[in-house]
Amino acid sequence: MEFSEWMAYARIYPLGEDRADARTALLASVVANSAGSKKKYQPVDFMPDYFERAEKSLLKKTAEGLQELRSRLAERIKAAFSQFPQANK
């Protein structure tokens, strides 16, 4: 019972790194807005989006890996066909 109460409390008043990110984002928006920028920043503008960043990184790595595999396959095909006399003409 006590554990479920703490879970409910944590949903209302987040603890840990998520809460620290929110506090830092609030502070960053105040500093940015006090610097005289024409744009008015909100704390959400400074919140890290770990999942989006990880997804982009994964997509980039996947695309790079796919290109690498294609290059290797092309080299193997060229090597295989270079053994035939007609391919060298």
CA distance 27 to 81: 63
In tens digits, the chain (89 residues) has pLDDT values of 788 888 888 777 766 777 788 888 889 999 999 988 788 988 888 887 766 666 676 677 777 777 887 888 888 888 877 777 765 55
Task: Take residue 62 and report the two structure tokens written for it.
Answer: 């996947």
Instruction: Specify the pLDDT at position 30.
Output: 92
Check: pTM over 0.85? Answer yes or no: no
Q: Are 29 and 42 in contact (CB under 8 A)?
A: yes
